[in-house]
A = this chain, B = another copy of it.
Amino acid sequence: MPTSREDVKGLVPLNILVSALLTDMYQITMSYAYWKAGRHNENAVFDLFFRKCPFKGQFAIFAGLSEVIALMNSFTFSPSDIAYLRTVLPHCEEAFFDWLGQLDCRNVRLYALEEGSLCFPRIPLIRVEGPLAVAQLLETPLLNLINYPSLIATNAARLRLAAGADKTLLEFGLRRAQGPDGALSASRYSYIGGFNGTSNVLAGKLIGVDIRGTHAHAFVQSYTSFEQIKDPTLDGKDFVAIVKGYRDRPVCGKGSGSSNDGELAAFTAYAQAFPDGFVALVDTYDTLQSGVPNFLCVALALDDLGHRALGCRLDSGDLSYLSQEVRKMTTEAAKTFNRPFLATTNIVASNDINEESLHYLADQGHAIDTFGIGTNLVTCQAQPALGCVYKLVSIEGVPRIKLSQTTSKITIPGRKAVYRLLGADRVPILDIMLKDGEEPPQPGVPILARHPFVATKRARVTPTQVVRLQEMVWDGQAGGATSDMPTIHEVRATVAKGLKEIRQDTLQRLNPTPYKVSVSEGLHDFLHSLWEKEAPIRELS
């Protein structure tokens, strides 16, 4: 029987299913065709990029790189993989399987943006250089490992922007994700995007994200009366009696409504187990008539014994109205009983929260301190796929182009260098791609930045600072990863820094200003000459 893996912290995939065989069949058939033609070792360059920012926004966050490196470390077809492939490709030559069985990434080089960087359409997030067949085989697993992490990091960052910097954001999506990976990725990359923690215990253990949790409705339902509490004590005192003593006081318990005694018993029992971690889910019966008054009884009783209740949680209803009513009640109780801490107890809210509802709540006013976000975060409901693509841009040193009747789908050919030009105060002005071998942009020297496809869109930029965006992150010939992977906390800091430095109108929700992605004059002209050469002249009659 499997037990949790103990060795997952290293540079191997967290999920053992991440392997060379996690690929589309056409990668295998293409590899055979390349091998059969003796072309499998030709030197190829592929770019991994997206064409459009997600969520109708103008930015995205690059994430998933360390899992790509882990795949590179372990990229191999096992003997049983080979045995399986033989059964589905019975007519392929035996020597092909021998070759496939000894394949690894020793001749591959990867160049990539820094994980956590802000990124924009058409800029290669990763450039893969290596033998044609191996670089081709990497397409599917790389896309699988980059698409969802980048999407959810971006989604989390947008939720953080919508909620404001002072709120606590928790990821609650385990039950709605596409299996354990989807859930673990959600925990990891929402943290990177700006969340504070997750409910997912496995993510806590394996990834090191803070975990949080209280109790569910079932816990409350399981209590019908105080008779179910066999031991009424806490710290040697009769805690049940103390709680009951508050039941008929103003604001609290029956004093404020027709509170449910089973619910009060449940809160009491939970507080006995977690006297310093008491958060009450208050909407099992009636939030304002029962849940909050009962919460106050237990919070006051805990305080009598020197324990501080943390807060209460809303999971249904009008969160704007309810949170403000809860704050009124806790404030009133704080005054009535002279317990100032009650006025600042944490109000946690969940229930179908998304980017829109966060903006709506901010507009309406609310008193929520912490948001738990599940379904909308992990499914990225507003756009559930990022759509990164992986395109051949050069083979044996010869740049290649992929044409399309849709101009935005035309690829920028060749091996390219990518720079971010910064103005004063490190504010990015635009990204620019140069032809391999072109002189890099220099601070203080004007450079013409052109739109790749629209001739009239040009800008002359004099950068204060020039940042090269892609660094080599894997060099198979030199032992693999070129440096240690950053921790999730470091990647999170990179995201936060990027979001702070960019022009804020790029991030705004309504009509965000597009960030410019441009090509040099040299690359522009080269692209258009190749385009003209490859495009067929249509025969019309």
Contacts of A386 in B (CB 8 A): 176
Cα distance, A139 to B216, chains bound together (Å) = 10
Q: Is the CB of B184 within 8 A of A17?
A: yes
Most central of A21, A76, A386, A539 by chain B CB within 10 Å:
A21
Q: Is the CB of A174 within 8 A of B144?
A: yes
A30 within 8 A of B: yes
Q: Is the CB of B202 within 8 A of A17?
A: yes
Contacts of A229 in B (CB 8 A): 37
Given known pairs A15-B17, A144-B177, A213-B29, the reply for A230 and B1 (CB within 8 Å) is no
Q: Which residue of B lies closest to A64 (CB)?
A: B179
Q: Is the CB of A44 within 8 A of B4?
A: no
Nearest chain B CB to A315's CB is how many angstroms away? 10
Cα distance, A33 to B16, chains bound together (Å) = 35
Interface string of A23-50 (1 = CB under 8 A from B): 1111111101110111100101010000
A78 within 8 A of B: yes
- Segment at the B interface, from A118-126, A253-261, A463-471, A503-511: A253-261
Most central of A6, A23, A37, A395 by chain B CB within 10 Å:
A37
A-B contact pairs, 28 of them (CB 8 A): A2-B74, A4-B80, A27-B201, A28-B213, A32-B273, A33-B274, A36-B272, A37-B229, A37-B230, A37-B272, A37-B273, A39-B228, A80-B205, A85-B201, A91-B277, A132-B222, A143-B176, A217-B392, A221-B392, A222-B392, A257-B538, A285-B535, A285-B536, A289-B538, A316-B404, A316-B405, A317-B405, A380-B384
Q: A3-B76, A15-B17, A221-B402 are in contact. List 18 more A-B contacts (CB 8 A).
A: A3-B19, A4-B19, A4-B78, A6-B80, A24-B174, A25-B200, A25-B204, A25-B212, A26-B214, A27-B201, A29-B215, A88-B211, A148-B178, A178-B182, A217-B392, A222-B400, A316-B409, A317-B405
Residues in chain A within 8 A of chain B (CB atoms): 1-6, 12-19, 21-30, 32-34, 36-39, 42, 44, 46, 73-74, 76, 78, 80-81, 84-85, 88, 91-92, 132, 136, 139-140, 143-145, 147-148, 172, 174-186, 199-202, 204-205, 211-219, 221-222, 224, 228-231, 257-260, 269-270, 272-274, 276-277, 284-286, 289-290, 316-317, 375, 378-381, 384-388, 390-392, 395, 398, 400-406, 409, 534-539
